């Protein structure tokens, strides 16, 4: 019995051959830190920089962090500062960061037909933020097949415009880079210094980018629920609405929230920027709607810009803070506290106001522990926003709107900037680097911390105290 316990304990710390014997809760944060360290060293190599440019250690660290954390904030232009080798390194870091370091390492083990222990499966499940253990490797294979299929289709559609514009080699490379970056919600590109601004009148490029961002932000569980639901619906001759009704409650909630946030953001931005000549004011009605939709979608952790972010009205910035903070949906490539988390926090408040003893979504009760977890993630993330904003403001000479925009963008791994990041001093850049790292690993690590540990006090029942709130 004792031997079995020791074996199980050893298995939990054996991931990737037991090279690093660390507590399971630290493996995920350290894996991202390791990827950042490797990326920094590679980008610091002389031949990673384009001729005539120089790369300091802090610039390499910043770029590696923004790539692995799929944030998109940059201090140098990706298209001109980095050589072909440097751009390939950045693209690989984006792909690894978007899928997750543990997920990529696990896929390498699967392809190498290595044996997976129970500890490996548990860690992989934690990294994907799902609690299933059976069929986990099959789920992992489906993720990789789906990701490369969607990115491949996206690259082909981009190539329709980019190859005639840039020539075959550069056009193909730009298409691949853009597709991976858009799907992983990274927001980096090799097109030029103005992101998507010069392409804001191209319906093909705008809608392909929107589709990739949304697909990456929906979450892999929703993907497969939709695919399986459509197959079953075709077999049973269901209507589209009937297929939607038969989806699992999580997927229905994610789809509903995604639609509400995208449309709500589009309407708010359209109204706030309608007469602003520096953004969409001089466009026709269809251009205004298209770019408002694009801005609403990119606010939710994508980082591409079709209009100058520093020219947005204060109302749009406030809407942006909210959309960036919420981000995408669970088990996907997007950042933020996630749509479901924000919704559960709202439901918790609503249930109390209506004096309900439980929160119900689609006639299903939300577990109490999940409500507490959502509140903890939202509270800690909000605290990080305030702390990092205060630290950035302490550098001096930075407007509050710009400071908060940059911090929320970094913590939610969005990558949109009002032009502040390249102008920051060393201390300011370090603050943004820490923010990007916390934003990428924070929700995952907090989930493991709050859910997996059970303190000894849980075995005790304390007497009720008399407290007053409100």
pLDDT single digits (tens) 218-236? 988 898 999 999 999 999 8
Contact 208, 153 (CB under 8 A): no
> What is the residue-wise DSSP string for 63-115?
HHHHHHTT----SS-HHHHB-HHHHHHHHHHHHHHHH-HHHHHHHHHHHTTPP
Instruction: Give kind and range of the element (H or E) at residue 359.
Output: none
CB 343 within 8 A of CB 257: yes
Beta-carbon-side half-sphere exposure of residue 107 (alpha carbons within 13 Å) = 16
Distance CA 203, CA 145 (A): 28
Q: Distance between terminal CA atoms of the chain?
A: 53
Whether 462 maps to a domain, the answer reads no
Which residues of the chain register pLDDT less than 70?
1-25, 113, 116-120, 126-134, 443-460, 464, 466, 468-470
Report pLDDT digits (tens) over 314-370.
Answer: 999 999 999 999 998 887 778 889 999 999 999 999 888 888 888 888 888 988 888
DSSP 3-state of 18: helix
- Report pTM: 0.88
Q: Strand 364-365 to strand 360-361: parallel, antiparallel, or no bridges (unpaired)?
A: antiparallel
Structure tokens at 148: 């490369």
Residue 328 lies in a domain: yes
As for how many domains the chain has, the answer is 1
Query: What is the structure's pLDDT at 230?
Result: 93
Kindly state the tokens that stand for 99: 């899928």
Where do runs of H (alpha helix) occur along 19-56?
A: 24-44
**Alpha-carbon 445 to chain mean position:** 14
- The Cβ of residue 399 has, within 10 Å, a number of other Cβ atoms equal to 11
- pLDDT (0 to 100) of residue 2: 46
Tell me if 34 is assigned to some domain: yes
Q: In this predicted structure, what is the pLDDT of residue 16?
A: 46
Residues 6+ apart with CB under 8 A from 391: 431
- Assign 3-state DSSP to the chain and report helix, strand, coil percentages, each to 5: 70, 0, 30
Reduced to 3 states, what is the DSSP secondary structure of residue 365? strand
pLDDT of residue 99: 87
Which sign, positive or negative, has the C-alpha torsion 26, 334, 155, 83? Answer: negative
Residue of 44, 102, 208, 210 whose CA lies nearest to 440:
102
CA distance 419 to 75: 10
Q: Is residue 275 part of a domain?
A: yes
User: Is 213 in a helix, a strand, or coil?
Assistant: helix
Domain of residue 24: give its range. 8-452
With beta carbons less than 8 A apart as the criterion, state whether 327 and 336 touch. Answer: yes
With respect to residue 460, please indicate whether it lies within any of the assigned structural domains: no
**Radius of gyration, CA atoms only, the chain:** 23
Chain centroid offset of residue 375 CA: 19
2 falls within a domain: no
Closest CA to 190 of 90, 326, 330: 90
Q: Are 326 and 337 in contact (CB under 8 A)?
A: yes
C-alpha torsion sign, points 451, 457, 461, 464 = negative
């Amino acid at each position: 019995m004792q031997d079995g316990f020791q074996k199980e304990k050893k298995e939990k710390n054996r991931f990737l051959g037991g090279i690093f014997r660390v507590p399971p809760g630290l493996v995920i944060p350290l894996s991202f830190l390791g990827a950042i360290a490797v990326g920094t060293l590679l980008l610091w190599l002389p031949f990673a920089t384009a001729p005539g440019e120089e790369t300091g250690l802090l610039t390499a660290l910043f770029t590696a962090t923004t790539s692995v954390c799929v944030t998109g904030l940059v201090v140098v232009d990706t298209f001109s500062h980095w050589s072909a080798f440097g751009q390939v390194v950045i693209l690989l870091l984006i792909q690894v960061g978007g899928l997750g370091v543990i997920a990529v390492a696990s896929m390498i083990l699967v392809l190498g037909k290595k044996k997976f222990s129970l500890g490996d499966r548990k860690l992989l499940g934690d990294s994907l933020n799902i609690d299933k253990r059976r069929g986990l490797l099959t789920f992992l294979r489906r993720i990789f097949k789906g990701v490369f299929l969607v990115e491949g289709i996206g690259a082909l559609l981009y190539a329709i415009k980019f190859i005639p514009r840039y020539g075959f080699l550069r056009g193909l490379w730009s298409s691949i880079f853009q597709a991976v970056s858009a799907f992983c919600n990274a927001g980096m590109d090799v097109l030029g210094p103005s992101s998507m601004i010069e392409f804001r009148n191209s319906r093909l490029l705008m809608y392909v980018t929107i589709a990739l961002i949304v697909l990456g932000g929906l979450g892999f569980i929703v993907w497969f629920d939709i695919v399986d639901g459509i197959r079953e619906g075709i077999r049973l001759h269901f209507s589209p609405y009937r297929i939607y009704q038969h989806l699992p409650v999580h997927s229905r909630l994610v789809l509903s929230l995604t639609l509400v946030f995208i449309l709500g953001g589009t309407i708010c931005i359209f109204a706030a920027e309608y007469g602003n000549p520096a953004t969409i004011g001089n466009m026709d009605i269809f251009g205004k709607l298209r770019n408002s939709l694009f801005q609403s979608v990119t606010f939710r952790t994508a980082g591409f810009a079709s209009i100058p972010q520093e020219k947005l009205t204060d109302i749009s910035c406030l809407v942006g803070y909210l959309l960036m903070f919420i981000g995408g949906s669970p088990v996907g490539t997007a950042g933020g506290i996630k749509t479901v988390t924000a919704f559960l926090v709202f439901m918790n408040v609503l249930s109390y106001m209506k004096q309900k003893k439980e929160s119900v979504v689609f006639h299903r009760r939300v577990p109490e522990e999940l409500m507490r977890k959502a509140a903890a993630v939202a509270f800690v993330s909000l605290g990080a926003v305030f702390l990092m904003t205060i630290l950035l403001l302490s550098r001096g000479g930075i407007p509050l709107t710009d400071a908060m925009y940059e911090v929320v963008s970094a913590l939610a791994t969005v990558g949109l900037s009002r032009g502040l990041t390249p102008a920051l001093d060393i201390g300011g850049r370090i603050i943004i680097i820490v923010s990007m790292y916390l934003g990428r690993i924070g929700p995952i690590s907090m989930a493991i911390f709050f859910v997996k540990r059970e303190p000894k006090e849980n075995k005790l029942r304390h007497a009720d105290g008399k407290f007053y709130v409100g």
